[in-house]
C-alpha cells in the first residue's frame, strides 16, 4: 500500500516533542510493509534539515514546504482567527503553498491512503477528495482546551479559554467528520470527540514506542509508578516536573534513566517512583 503522510513538521530520531517521537516510530513501522510518501513543513534549523534527510531512509519520497510562519503568530493571523472563529493554530498552518503541494502529490502519487497528523492539519482533508483518509489526532485539541479552562484564575482568562475551546470543538466536529477513520491515543480523547459527534468513527490505538529494557530494569521494584514521557531539556524544568510527579503521588523519586542518545536535542526519561 502507498501511504501519503501529511505532518506539520519533519521528525526523526532527534525529535524533541512527544508527538514527534511517536509519529517517527509510527512511520518507521508503517515503512516496513508499505511505501511512504512524506510531506511536511520544514524550518531552517540544522536538526530539522538532518531529520528530513533521515526520513529518506524510510520513505520513497520526502517533500517539504518552507515554514515561513515560524515564531509568534502575526497580528494578521490573530485577526483572521478572530474573524473566522478558527483556532489560531489552524490559521498558523494554513498556507497556499502546502495545499498546492499536497494536491500536486495526490495527482502524481495516487496514494492508497492519506494519513494526516495533528488536529490543526485536519483542514487539508478538503484537498483529499476521492482518497481514503485517516486522521491521526495524537492529542485532541478540544479536550486539551477544555482542561485549560480550569487552569485560569480570572474571569477574563476563563472566558478566553472557553471561547478557544468552542472554536476547537467546532473545528474538530466539522473536519473530522470528513475522514474515513479517526485515531486517538486515549479513551478520554475518544469520549471528548464523540460527545459532540456521536457518529464519528474513532479508534483508540496504542502509541508506537520502543522501550526494550524498561521491564527488565524496573521488574524488581515493588509498588512502582513508571512515568514515560518527554521532559524539558533544561535541568530546572526537568526537576520541577519530577518533583510535581513525586508530590502528586506522595512518593519519592527512586531512579531515572535516559532512553535516548545524548546527542539528540531532547531526552526521554523513564522514571520509577516508589510509593511510601
Percentage of residues in the chain with pLDDT exceeding 90?
47
CA-nearest of 79, 89, 94, 85 to 163 is: 85
Look up the CATH superfamily of 2-204.
Glycogen Phosphorylase B; (3.40.50.2000)
Gap between the Cα atoms of 167 and 151, Å rounded:
18
Instruction: With a cut of 70, list the residues of the chain below it in pLDDT.
Output: 68-73, 208-276
pLDDT of residue 77: 72
CB-count exposure of residue 80 (10 Å: 0-12, 13-18, 19+): middle
The domains of the chain are located at: 2-204, 214-275
123: which 3 cell numbers? 483542514
pLDDT in tens, 218-230: 556 565 655 555 5
Q: In this predicted structure, what is the pLDDT of residue 212?
A: 54
What pLDDT shows up at residue 268? 42
Q: Quick one: pLDDT at residue 139? A: 87
Q: How many CB atoms lie within 10 A of CB 41?
A: 21
- 17/21 Cα distance (integer angstroms): 6
The 10s digit of each residue's pLDDT in 171-210 is: 999 999 999 999 998 899 999 999 989 999 999 887 766 6
Nearest CA-CA partner of 141 in 102, 67, 94, 86: 86
Cell of 14: 532527534
What's the pLDDT score for residue 83? Answer: 79
Burial class, 59, CB count within 10 angstroms (exposed 0-12 / middle 13-18 / buried 19+): buried
Do 197 and 176 contact (CB within 8 A), yes or no? yes
Amino acid at each position: 500500500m502507498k501511504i501519503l503522510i501529511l505532518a506539520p513538521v519533519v521528525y526523526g530520531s532527534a525529535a524533541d516533542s512527544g508527538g514527534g517521537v511517536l509519529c517517527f516510530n509510527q512511520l518507521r513501522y508503517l515503512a516496513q510493509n508499505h511505501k511512504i510518501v512524506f510531506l511536511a513543513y520544514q524550518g531552517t534549523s540544522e536538526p530539522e534539515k538532518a531529520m528530513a534527510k533521515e526520513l529518506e531512509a524510510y520513505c520513497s519520497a520526502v517533500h517539504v514546504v518552507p515554514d515561513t510562519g515560524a515564531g509568534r503568530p502575526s497580528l494578521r493571523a490573530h485577526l483572521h482567527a478572530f474573524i473566522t472563529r478558527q483556532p489560531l493554530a489552524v490559521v498558523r498552518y494554513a498556507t497556499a503553498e502546502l495545499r498546492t503541494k499536497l494536491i500536486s502529490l495526490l495527482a502524481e502519487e495516487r496514494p492508497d491512503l492519506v494519513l494526516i497528523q495533528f488536529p490543526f492539519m485536519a483542514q487539508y482533508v478538503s484537498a483529499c477528495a476521492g482518497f481514503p483518509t485517516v486522521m491521526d489526532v495524537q492529542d485532541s485539541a478540544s479536550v486539551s482546551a477544555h482542561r485549560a479552562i480550569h487552569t485560569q484564575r480570572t474571569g477574563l482568562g476563563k472566558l478566553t479559554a472557553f471561547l478557544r475551546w468552542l472554536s476547537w470543538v467546532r473545528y474538530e466536529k466539522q473536519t473530522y467528520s470528513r475522514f474515513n477513520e479517526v485515531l486517538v491515543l486515549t479513551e478520554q480523547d475518544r469520549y471528548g470527540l464523540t460527545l459532540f459527534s456521536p457518529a464519528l468513527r474513532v479508534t483508540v490505538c496504542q502509541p508506537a514506542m520502543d522501550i526494550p529494557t524498561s521491564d527488565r530494569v524496573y521488574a524488581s521494584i515493588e509498588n512502582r509508578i513508571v512515568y514515560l514521557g518527554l521532559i524539558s531539556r533544561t535541568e530546572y524544568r526537568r526537576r520541577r516536573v519530577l518533583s510535581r510527579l513525586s508530590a502528586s503521588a506522595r512518593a519519592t523519586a527512586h531512579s531515572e534513566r535516559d532512553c535516548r542518545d545524548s546527542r539528540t536535542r531532547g531526552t526521554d526519561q523513564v522514571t520509577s517512583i516508589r510509593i511510601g
